[in-house]
Amino acid sequence: MLLPSKKDLKTALEVFAVFQWALSALLIVMTSIVVNLYLVVFTQYWLVTVLILTWLVFDWKTPERGGRRYACVRNWHLWKHYCDYFPLKLLKTHDISPNSNYILVCHPHGILAHTWFGHFSSEGSGFSRMFPGITPYTLTLGSLFWMPFLRDYIMATGACSVSESSIDFLLTHKGTGNMLIVVVGGLAECRYSLPGSSTLVLKNRSGFVRMALRHGVALIPTYAFGETDLYDQHIFTPGGFVNRFQKWFQSMVHIYPCAFYGRGFTKNSWGLLPHALPVTTIVGEPLQMPKIENPSQEIVSKYHALYIEALRKLFDQHKTKFGISETQELEII
């Protein structure tokens, strides 16, 4: 009987690591809903559900108060396999001092933001070795913390809410050496996540600049070369029925429903796993902001423009190393 080689086992572990990343969240949500409905409707143990909901109310503000991280979860060896699947590589252009706080601004979002999870919500790519003394806080949608158990799993990786009060807390109550990870394009950027694309939703996204000015912290432009190549996307005929539905859905819930696809469990199959393509993330030079407690829109616009200039410079300096034409530029919309 032929036994699988070490390479085959390694590949299988990498595929499993990426697969379970999305599946685990779905399983936690479905299990929580089904089990609690069963307890309430079919058993006499409805009090368990009441206790869970009571704890949820009591703990509601935790995602806006620094979260509840667990080093043991961030250090799971599974995340190393996750990063090796693509692989993900993290490079810094400048040392980051632990004596200050920072807002690291990530581009692009991609379809499922695989890069940003691998680098900053786990130690799979060795974040703490590369940035000693720095504590990363990945900021994400507050709605992800509404579901019992799922919220605890997400917070265990070091994630917090992206709300204004959460950012204020992290930059004023946690000392120094904190790095807030913000993917400013958000879900609105998914529709532009096509292989070879360098389109960013950033023109009207200036809240992160306002927060940086309010606290006088540096902004760090960061770009992941290859993130938009991880999935293909079917583009429907403009003005057609499906395209009109996509736009209507986006207008209702601010999420653009993309028809994306990638690979399956084997290399040349079709499925919803991302393509196993290398993604290299370049962390740029910190752009220091002056401390202005209540900056005017004019001042915010000024430093927003300076940030975009720094991001363009970072992109242009490194793009040809990753197969991007010298003439291709960032498209800011």
Cα(207)–Cα(166) distance, rounded to whole angstroms? 13
CATH fold of 62-231+274-332, please? Glycerol-3-phosphate (1)-acyltransferase (3.40.1130)
Cα(325)–Cα(22) distance, rounded to whole angstroms? 33
Say if CB 121 and CB 131 are below 8 A apart.
no
Residue 38 parent element (H or E): helix 6-42
Cα(68)–Cα(160) distance, rounded to whole angstroms? 9
Cα(6)–Cα(10) distance, rounded to whole angstroms? 6
DSSP string for residues in 197-241: --EE--TT--HHHHHHHHHT-EEEEEEEETGGGS-EEEPPPTTSH
**Whole-number pLDDT of residue 195:** 93
Mean pLDDT of 101-125: 95
**Whole-number pLDDT of residue 113:** 92
**Whole-number pLDDT of residue 2:** 66
pLDDT surpasses 90 at 187: no
pLDDT surpasses 80 at 191: yes
- Where do the domains of the chain lie? 62-231+274-332
For the chain, percent of residues with pLDDT exceeding 90: 78
Whole-structure pTM value? 0.92
Using 50, 70 and 90 to split pLDDT, how confident is the model at 132?
very high
**Whole-number pLDDT of residue 49:** 93
**Whole-number pLDDT of residue 257:** 84
Cα(214)–Cα(72) distance, rounded to whole angstroms? 34
**Whole-number pLDDT of residue 243:** 87
Mean pLDDT of 15-22: 90
Say if CB 109 and CB 187 are below 8 A apart.
yes
Using 50, 70 and 90 to split pLDDT, how confident is the model at 110?
very high
Comparing 40-44, 58-62, 78-82, 213-217, the range with the smallest average pLDDT is 40-44
Degrees to nearest 5, angle at CA 159 with 293 and 201: 65
Say if CB 279 and CB 88 are below 8 A apart.
yes
Residue 295's SS3 state is coil
Say if CB 184 and CB 106 are below 8 A apart.
yes
Among 188, 180, 173, residue whose Cα is nearest residue 212: 180
**Whole-number pLDDT of residue 1:** 53
User: Which pLDDT tens digit goes with each residue over 209-257?
Assistant: 999 999 999 999 999 999 999 999 988 888 888 888 888 888 877 777 8
Q: For 273, which DSSP code?
A: B
**Whole-number pLDDT of residue 236:** 86
**How much is the mean pLDDT over the chain?**
93
User: Which pLDDT tens digit goes with each residue over 25-47?
Assistant: 888 889 999 999 999 999 999 99
Cα(102)–Cα(118) distance, rounded to whole angstroms? 19
Beta-bridge mates of residue 88: 279
User: Which pLDDT tens digit goes with each residue over 288-313?
Assistant: 999 999 999 999 999 999 999 999 99
